[in-house]
Amino acid sequence: MPPAPWPTPRTVRQAAVLHARLTASGYFLHPPSAHHLLNSLVNCLVPFDPLHLRYALHLFDRMPPSTFLYDTALRACFRAGSSSGDPDRPFVLFRRMRRAGIRPDGFTFHFLFKCSSSHRPHALLCTMLHAACLRTMLPSAAPFASNSLIHMYVELGLAADARRAFDEIPVKDAVAWIMVITGLAKMGMLCDARLLLSQAPMRDVISWTGLITAYSRAGQAKEAVGCFKSMLSEGIAPDKVTVIGVLSACAQLKDLELGRSLHLLIKEKGMLTSENLVVALIDMYAKCGDFGHARQVFDAVGRGRRPQSWNAIIDGYCKHGHVDVARSLFDQMEVRDIITFNSMMTGYIHSGQLREALLLFMSMRRHDLCVDNFTVVSLLTACASLGALPQGRALHACIEQRLVEADIYLGTALLDMYMKCGRVDEATIVFQRMGKRDVHTWTAMIAGLAFNGMGKAALEHFYQMRCDGFQPNSVSYIAVLAACSHSCLLNQGRLYFDEMRILYNIHPQIEHYGCMIDLLGRSGLLDEAMDLVKTMPIQPNAVIWASILSACRVHKHIDLAQCAAEHLLKLEPDEDGVYVQLYNIYIDSRLWENASKIRMLMEERQVKKTAGYSSITVAGQVHKFVVSDKSHPRILEITAMMEEISHRLKSVGYSPLTSQITVDVDEEEKEQTLLAHSEKLAISFGLISLAPNLPVHIIKNLRVCEDCHSTIKLISRLWNREIIVRDRSRFHHFREGTCSCNDFW
């Protein structure tokens, strides 16, 4: 006797009633009835409350097992979402199914892949599932699983695996399938033809879109666009989701031409009703810097735009340096989300407006927004540029306490912060503990070692990076060449400068030339450096001429110094550093008259010398000193320490470099002035207030003077103390009487 048409339960109570009726009538073990009950639960209840998953699985455990029931149980796991507890449950179910000898079908794998997309298990497990799918499935059952397989790899960010899954869909067999299907249709077997058609494994718009999205999300935008073109040539029409993926790739490539043609396509097909697509379109125009069109699309959406549209345009303005325009849009927004705040903060940080970024960060709490890993990356970047080590360490503690999810960006930002605060040891620990690294992580490590004066270690890391299969990019080579120049590794520098073009087709930019010219200049090869300046295909900028000028000072090359200074004064007439550098060169060479001309020129042009200062953090508090500073509450102790330093330095035969002082005063006064330099005050304070095992860490806004440099080397030996000084362009690590810069800075 067929069962009565059972009602569809819409509440747990109704489900329980039906459960009782089925059990009482013996129909609980009748497959269609059992399926009906379980299906209703999965469709109506589980998606709205993951707690009902337990009830559904409880029923499932008591029903006679079948492929369909297992598929339904897996579907239940998927629909309950990732918040429903045990992320391993789908895999446990699958293992049980195999042990019970129940054959999986396309749906089984489909739901397993869907679960894997949301639960993000280990990549190895996904590969094993993929293999099991290939092993056990008939090709005719594949189409359900293949697109979800691609999607799983997309979610895991594994574009190459997504590609492999895509290639496994046998497109060449499509012809054979179509022949069989048309054959059946011609014989009048329309039902069979339709069934076969629904099962034929062919690449459709969804497979292609999956692959395009995979490439786009993995940052392989060229491949994404390549796929899009292949898709069109196979005669498959894109839909709005495809276009979103391709627009995102265009934005990465700054391919405005393709972006515009997509805009035309969107208009033709009337796709502008999708706001997701509108967001992608605004983002593409904004990232390409075409704000006219970006605004046109943005304005056309009108009031009631989603925050995503605002975010896309705000971020575009920030990335192109129009932070004020971005802020005015930010202020007009009614509902801002975490992305809005993070974009705006990042904009401020990259434009050097750290105070504004901090104010925004503090206002996030008022908007009930929790800090996430994007926020922490921004804050770490700010700490790195300020050299704010204690604050950076506090953020590290938040990561360790798992208050934010640690990922590859966060790890890289953390190691970069430690490097920029001169803590190579801590940066190295972060680097070594990172489970996953990418080219940015390696580059941050190499650059960090480079400007901390550890050129050889930097090059060893570069070697290791390539052994690990990472392809260096143009920024990696800037770091490598900077390592060579900071550590005076001339032969290696020449090698890498040629190699980047030959091996990777990376053409040198102004930064690469800058490093190379700096390296040649440091090595005393000023003629060769000038040859490179003359022959390079780019107009030399201020950095290039400043390198030449520095080299001229060290190698006493007055004529070339004058030539470099002339170029610099044309490029940056208001920059006091040039005047000071040239002035010092004249003083070193005892050309007093030229020196005083420079002074007059500065007065004439009203160029003010930037006031030098040094800061040191003790117990979380920043102490700032200027020359001859008497304002510190512990000035008496600091002065006593200064006197002790002076006394001990003299006892080992050190005489102050009073020749650096050009004001007409007696020797003793000159000595006093040198002794009152801000970095020496800060170091004295560090010595009296920090525990003896802690390094003394100073941040200086200008370059360290020669007398201070020699003095600090001696202090590091006499007090057996590590002293780290970050000046405006590099780090000096003083240990046991030597400095990591090898006296060239």
Q: Site residues (CB under 7 A) for DNA? A: 31-32, 35-36, 39, 67-68, 71-72, 75, 105, 107, 110, 114, 143-144, 147-148, 151, 154-155, 198, 204-207, 209-210, 213, 216-217, 239-242, 244-245, 248, 251, 274-277, 279-280, 283, 287, 307-308, 311-312, 315, 319, 338-339, 342-343, 346, 372-374, 377-378, 381, 407, 409-410, 413
- Residue 652 near residue 713, CB atoms below 8 Å: no
Q: With the CA atoms of 380, 385, 386 and 390 taken in that order, what torsion angle do they form, in degrees rounded to the nearest 10?
A: 30
As given in the structure block, the two tokens for residue 713 are 């080397």
Q: 3-state DSSP call for residue 739?
A: strand
Cα–Cα dist 364/100, whole Å: 53
Nearer to DNA, 207 or 485 (CB): 207
Quick one: 285 or 451, whose CB is closer to DNA? 285
Least spacing, CB of residue 170 vs DNA, in Å = 15
Q: Which is nearest to 254 in space by CA: 223, 215, 222, 230? A: 222
How far is it, in rounded angstroms, from Cα 695 to Cα 683?
Answer: 10
- Closer to DNA at the Cβ: 273 or 651? 273
Distance of closest approach, residue 56 Cβ to DNA, in angstroms: 14
Q: Which of 383, 475, 493 has the alpha carbon at shortest distance from 427?
A: 383
| Contacts made by residues 329-332, CB under 8 angstroms, sequence distance 24+ | none
Beta strand 723-726 with 696-700 is: parallel
Mode of pairing for the β-strands spanning 621-626 and 731-735: unpaired
Residue 177 to residue 195: CA distance in whole angstroms = 12
CA distances from 269 to 258, 263, 298 (A): 16, 10, 19
- Can you tell me the distance from the alpha carbon of 631 to that of 280, in angstroms, rounded to the nearest whole number? 56
> In angstroms, what is the minimal distance from the CB of 623 to DNA?
30
CB 241 within 8 A of CB 209: yes
Smallest separation (angstroms) from DNA to the CB of 14: 18
- Least distance between DNA and beta carbon 408 (Å): 8
Least distance (Å) between residue 384 CB and DNA: 11
In the complex, the smallest distance separating the C-beta of residue 327 from DNA, rounded to whole angstroms, is: 15
Least distance from DNA to the Cβ atom of residue 183, Å:
22
As measured in angstroms, the least distance from the Cβ of 70 to DNA is 9
Expressed in angstroms, the distance from the first to the final Cα of the chain is: 95
CB of 269 or CB of 507, closer to DNA: 269
CB closer to DNA, 333 vs 718: 333
Q: In what order do the strands lie in the sheet with 723-726?
A: 621-626, 613-618, 696-700, 723-726, 731-735, 738-739
Q: How far is CA 200 from CA 144, 230, 239, in A?
A: 10, 21, 21
How many CB atoms sit inside 10 A of residue 692's CB?
8
Q: How far is the CB of 99 from DNA (least distance, A)?
A: 20
Q: From the CB of 303, what's the least distance to DNA, in Å?
A: 18
- For DNA, the closer CB: 287 or 327: 287
Least Å from the CB of residue 698 to DNA: 27
Tell me how far, at minimum, the Cβ of 166 lies from DNA, in Å. 12
CB closer to DNA out of 143 and 514: 143
Indicate the residue among 36 and 732 with the shorter CB distance to DNA.
36
Least distance (Å) between residue 286 CB and DNA: 9
Nearer to DNA, 210 or 448 (CB): 210
151 contacts 113 by C-beta, under 8 angstroms: yes
CB closer to DNA, 71 vs 426: 71
Q: Between 300 and 665, name the residue whose CB sits nearer to DNA.
A: 300
CA of 73: how far to CAs of 14, 33, 119, 149, in Å? 20, 15, 16, 19
Report, in Å, the least distance between residue 325 CB and DNA. 16
Task: State the DSSP H helix or E strand holding residue 97, giving kind and residue range, or none if neither.
Answer: helix 89-99
CB nearer to DNA: give 381 or 678. 381
CB-nearer residue toward DNA: 277 or 649: 277
Contact between 63 and 71 (Cβ < 8 Å) = no
- Compare residues 161 and 679 and give the one whose CB is closer to DNA: 161
Smaller CB distance to DNA: residue 116 or 710? Answer: 116
271 secondary structure, DSSP code:
G
The residue type of 332 is Q
In the complex with DNA, the residue whose CB is nearer, 281 or 616, is 281
554 touches 526 (CB < 8 A): no
Judged by beta carbon, residue 50 or residue 521, the one nearer DNA is 50
Among 515, 436, 421, 499, which residue's Cα sits nearest to residue 468? Answer: 436
Residue 212 token pair: 């395009």
Instruction: Supply 317's token pair.
Output: 């303005």
Shortest distance, CB of residue 278 to DNA, whole angstroms?
Answer: 8
Q: Supply the minimum distance, in Å, between the C-beta of residue 57 and DNA.
A: 16
Show the DSSP H helices in 455-575 as ranges. Answer: 455-467, 474-486, 490-504, 510-522, 526-535, 542-554, 558-571
Half-sphere exposure of 395 (CA within 13 A, CB side): 26
Contacts of 3-8 spanning 24+ positions with Cβ under 8 A: 3/27, 3/30, 3/32, 3/33, 6/33, 6/36, 6/37, 8/36, 8/40, 8/44
Cα atoms in the Cβ-side hemisphere of radius 13 Å centred on 11: 3
In the complex with DNA, the residue whose CB is nearer, 275 or 460, is 275
Helices (H), 218-290: 221-233, 240-253, 256-268, 275-287
CB of 236 to DNA, least distance (A): 10
Tell me which residue has tokens 């409880």: 58
**74 backbone φψ class: left, alpha, beta (φ>0; ψ -120 to 50):** alpha
